[in-house]
Amino acid sequence: MNGQVLPHGVVAADFQRALGELRTVVDAQWIIAERERLAPYLKLMLPVEDAEHLPAGVVAPASVEEVQRVLKICNRYRIQIWPISTGRNFGYGSASPATRGQLVLDLHRMNRILHVDPVLCTALVEPGVTYQQLQDYLTEHDIPLWLDFPGPGPLVGPLGNTLERGGGNSPYGDHFANACGMEVVLADGRVLRTGTGSLPETTSWQAFKYGYGPYLDGIFTQSNFGIVTKMGLWLMPRPAGHQSLLIQYEHDQDLSKAVETMRPLRLAGTVQNTCVIGNADIIVANMVRRSDIWQGKEVVPDDIIQAEAKKRGIAAWTMLSTLYGTPEQVAPNLAIVKDAFERSGARVTLGVKDAMSTGELTLDSFRVLNWRPGGGLAWFAPVAPALGKDALKQKDLAKRIMARHGFEYLGAPTVGVRDLHHLIALVFDRRDAEEKQRADACFRELMETFTRQGYGLYRAGIGYMDKLAQMYGQTNREVNRAIKRALDPNGIIAPGKSGIRL
């Protein structure tokens, strides 16, 4: 067969036999093994080699039972499978597997919203449910609950994003913290329900996370220990009102003030949402194309960015924060927050809109992709304690390394409560082989330098998983491997995910 990628270690005749068996389980139109039909699954944005991440094919089951039967067949033939839910994973690997020759297990057809409880404010969803679908359901049924979603909100789904421990900007911004109960198909086909879900008559699967005994949900996130087929979510009751503030600082070094002012407000609960602090470069990059303001190969000089920012009223650092509640609740908090930021030297503007923090689905933050042509994006996401000095140190390090490789530092440090996720968009022209190679070298240097300084990444794309896992040390790897061996002795589920394999 032309250009056929075989599953790792499986001969062509066995793969054909396996496909034949899979067709007895999953409707044939939902099994792809022809290279020409794989295009939707080959949309890598990362600066990695496509050839190293080509899937052997795709199988898209429609039910838990089909997933179980697919696993049985794959176990028998030792075919490795890469589960995806909505399969976007933009800037972290799209729908592509960590290693060549895995069969993508596409769960997008399992897209039922099984339950929404407007009293307890919970939902139970399947992997293929998108945020847009869930939003439409809430609107249609007039249920006053808000969703929290990541940057590519409408296109992606809560189950996949939560498994990656992604985040958004409302008070429910830590997605895994707001997940409650999972259903997991294990490699041998058994079905585990976590939390109280293992009680046959459970009343509280989506209300109480921990159940009895070890709290297992965490081991199914960023891992390859099972296939998650259902997930419970906690949703935020629509607040009585809200008021967003635009907080702007004039100088590059003011990042420290932004973090130092925000942390105590987050700790005290005065500010309830996860706040992004964008630098001038990332906001300019959301508005113009790089080629509109600079044609050089080297990084856009600071004075050019500053001139563009000034023209558009963009500050060195821009933060949005939102306060929630009745007017009586918001008013005193607003006074406290406004005063704290103004005293730290910021300009505070009221009456602005912030869709991401107020349950309105938007794709706005994705405009950063237009900065350069060619669609290349790698998210570099190191974590620091929420301290001004660390934020500044990370900014200086990232800016220096990225400039050396010819890339602008498009920074969006985000204050959790005690942590700071320093999100950085590495945008590059993926069609330009030299630029792609530079982006890869840049990403590797960033990862190594930051990790050596004690700033671990919270997530990494395919192609970078092994390296990052190594940096987290021997014992950590051995424990993960022991769990992998126990739960998936043939190593068929997503080898290489988070650097974990048999």
Contacting residue, 107, 314, 383, 460, with ligand ADP by CB under 6 A? 107
- 497 near ligand ADP, rule: CB under 6 A: yes
Contacting residue, 61, 83, 168, 211, with ligand ADP by CB under 6 A? 83
- Dihedral over Cα of 168, 169, 170, 176: its sign: positive
Q: Is 467 exposed, middle or buried (0-12, 13-18, 19+ CB in 10 A)?
A: middle
Contacting residue, 227, 258, 259, 356, with ligand ADP by CB under 6 A? 227
Q: From 80-88, 243-251, 350-358, 466-474, give the range in contact with ligand ADP by CB under 6 A.
A: 80-88
Distance CA 447, CA 15 (A): 37
Q: Shortest distance, CB of residue 461 to ligand ADP, whole angstroms?
A: 9
Distance CA 340, CA 479 (A): 45
- 45 near ligand ADP, rule: CB under 6 A: no
Q: From 11-19, 81-89, 238-246, 330-338, give the range in contact with ligand ADP by CB under 6 A.
A: 81-89
Q: Shortest distance, CB of residue 93 to ligand ADP, whole angstroms?
A: 6
Helix axes 64-77, 12-23, angle to 10 degrees: 160
Task: Name the residues annotated as catalytic.
Answer: 92, 458-459
SS (H, E, C) 355-384: HHHCCCCCCHHHHHHHHCCCCEEEEECEEE
- 163 near ligand ADP, rule: CB under 6 A: yes
Residue 38 · residue 57 · CB < 8 Å: yes
- 290 near ligand ADP, rule: CB under 6 A: no
Q: Is 141 exposed, middle or buried (0-12, 13-18, 19+ CB in 10 A)?
A: exposed
Distance CA 152, CA 425 (A): 14
Q: Shortest distance, CB of residue 160 to ligand ADP, whole angstroms?
A: 3
Q: How many chain residues touch ligand ADP (CB under 6 A)?
A: 20
Which residues, numbered 186-205, are part of the site for ligand ADP (CB under 6 A)? Answer: none
Q: Shortest distance, CB of residue 102 to ligand ADP, whole angstroms?
A: 10
Which residues, numbered 117-156, are part of the site for ligand ADP (CB under 6 A)? Answer: 127, 156
Contacting residue, 7, 55, 57, 87, with ligand ADP by CB under 6 A? 87
Q: Is 151 helix (H, G, I), strand (E, B) or coil?
A: coil
Tokens linked to 409: 């530092």
- 501 near ligand ADP, rule: CB under 6 A: no
- 161 near ligand ADP, rule: CB under 6 A: yes
- 53 near ligand ADP, rule: CB under 6 A: no
Tokens linked to 53: 């991440």
Tokens linked to 64: 């838990």
Report CA Rg, the chain: 23
Q: Shortest distance, CB of residue 313 to ligand ADP, whole angstroms?
A: 33
Q: Shortest distance, CB of residue 87 to ligand ADP, whole angstroms?
A: 5
* Residue at 252: amino acid letter: D
Residue showing tokens 């990042």: 255
List residues near ligand ADP by CB under 6 A.
Answer: 83-89, 93, 107, 127, 156-157, 160-161, 163-164, 227-228, 494, 497
